[in-house]
Amino acid sequence: MNYEEKSKNYYSNIRYDLIEFFDKKKYFKVLEIGAAYGENLFYLKENGLANEAIGIELFQDEKNKNNYKKIDKFIFGNINEIDLLEYKNYFNLILLPDVLEHIYDPKKTLSIVHQLLSDDGEIVVSMPNIRHYSAFVRVFLKGNFSYDENGIFDYTHVRFYCKKNIQELLESSNFQIIKVEGSIRNFKGKSIAKIINKISFGLFEQFLSNQYFFKAKKI
């Protein structure tokens, strides 16, 4: 994996879909793992949704230092390797936006997250859904398992998940799931897809959702 070769735009977009998913209340201490340039955290602070915002990113982009947003602190390194003991039970909200599929040992990551989260805190996780119809078309109909710059077949993904696997991963890591939502925002015919999903009573949800959002608390 070479994240430094990725387009700058990959790291510089506010995840409004993620922000819309969790409650619009004030979180005193927020951590984002895979914070990129800090766009999401900066947005939360600017809009009064966070008092303190800390971001963890795998590497520091030396060529684009000016793109880093002004948040309280950036920590650079692998979440599974850096020392975060000072933040035990510290954060009210921890964001993991499309992160766990890039990590070889996501169970270890979630164990660390569990330690960092306060007793009344929440985590919000987003992950691509390999059960999406486009993956079926690509692999089984076209016989093509090629990779892309981003999306479900992002070339830096080391793991693939569908809804059931994400749920099992979180629950086996001592998290209780509070809310789950599938996203069809990037579906070209999203209105049609929503109608199909509604009249089928959610039967096709897992084939129409290119991504899943999970909110959970620790047990």
- For the chain, list the domains and their CATH numbers: 3-218 (3.40.50.150)
**Each residue of 4-17: pLDDT tens digit?**
555 445 545 899 99
Q: Are the CB atoms for 35 and 56 separated by under 8 Å?
A: yes
**Each residue of 197-210: pLDDT tens digit?**
566 555 577 778 88
Q: Residue 195 has what pLDDT?
A: 60
What is the SS3 assignment for 158? coil
Distance CA 153, CA 186 (A): 15
**Each residue of 112-126: pLDDT tens digit?**
999 999 999 999 999
Q: Residue 192 has what pLDDT?
A: 60
How many CA atoms within 13 Å lie on the side-chain side of 168?
5
Q: Give the pair of three-digit tokens for residue 13.
A: 């977009």
Mean pLDDT value across residues 168-195? 79
For residue 61, which phi and psi values (nearest 5 degrees)?
Answer: -85, 95
Q: Are the CB atoms for 213 and 126 separated by under 8 Å?
A: yes
Q: Within 10 Å of residue 184's Cβ, how many Cβ atoms?
A: 19
Q: What percentage of the chain carries pLDDT values higher than 90?
A: 58
Query: DSSP assignment of 19-76, as one string?
Result: HHHS-SS-EEEEEEET-TTSHHHHHHHHTTSEEEEEEEESS--GGGGGG----SEEEE
Mean pLDDT value across residues 172-191? 79
Instruction: Please determine, for residue 2, whether its predicted confidence score (pLDDT) is greater than 60.
Output: no
**Identity at 25, one-letter amino acid code:** K
Mean pLDDT value across residues 22-30? 87
Q: What percentage of the chain carries pLDDT values higher than 70?
A: 85
**What sign does the CA torsion over 109, 61, 5, 9 have?**
positive
